[in-house]
Amino acid sequence: MIRHPYLLIDVFARSAFHGNPVAVFFPGTDLSEGVMQAIGTELNLSEVAFVMPTGSPARFRARIFTPTRELPFAGHPMIGILAALHTRFDVTGEVTVHVPRGEVRGWVELRDEELWAGFTLPVPRASPVEVPTAEIVAALGAEPVAPIELYDVGARHFVIALDSRDSLRDLRPDHTRLAKFPDVAFNCYTGSGTTWRNRMFSPAYGVVEDAATGSVAGPLLAHAHTYRDAPTGRPCRIEQGVEIGRFSEMHVRLDPGGDGLRSRTWGQCVTVGRGTLEYPEDQ
């Protein structure tokens, strides 16, 4: 039998059974894409991650899979990877993780027995939205209060501002219509100042509604900085998962850089399980 140990981490969670869970595997050898995808489909979490050493105690390789596809990068799995490295190998401080999108610089530490992790990335420039806004509005059943923008961070995200928490809470998207949009997630948010709330839907990525979407934290705050009143240089909070009973709290800060904005995204993690996945050698 082939056996792969894994940790189950609740990411962006103050306590167990909140936040967004991710299974982080340490297979010890490179797995085929087919096997990793099969494991992602089997567990049916929003993402699973596979971590491999590089020979350096502060550098690792990772790949991330949803139930339906591989993602070149995803935010909450990256936070979960960093937390799992601490739990399994007692890694602390700065860590570099290489994913298909490129190198991600992160960190992990204990603060008063609480496990925190984060990463820093440039915020990509918004890309043109190549489908009629009316089609997006019809699929979501809500009117945006600012231009819809598309950000590619490995996963592709529409960022859509709504007028109030009531509008966000009452969203009932048409998932059949959403499924017609390939390779994209829909992020609907509202808020003001340093406090924001998001909901993410993505049939394309095999996720009905995501509990926490770390990869969109920087782009969402950049959108809110452009069209609303989100600040730069100050920590902000993005809540998510409220409507599905998985309260998540993402912390993010935007800072101007020479080539645009950079975002620092971080959050608390809780290790809620560990185990071994096994299957026959000829699988």
Catalytic residues: 47
Which residue has 């945006």 as its token pair? 144
- Give the span between the Cα atoms of 21 and 19, in whole angstroms: 7
Tokens representing residue 82 in the block? 């960093």
Angstrom distances, CA of residue 61 to CA of 132, 175, 210: 38, 34, 25
DSSP-based three-state secondary structure for 206: coil
Asked if 211 contacts 20 with a C-beta cutoff of 8 angstroms, the reply is yes
Give the whole-angstrom CA distance, residue 194 versus residue 232.
10
Measured distance CA(96)–CA(103) in Å, rounded = 7
Q: What angle do CA 3, 29, 153 make, to 5 degrees?
A: 105
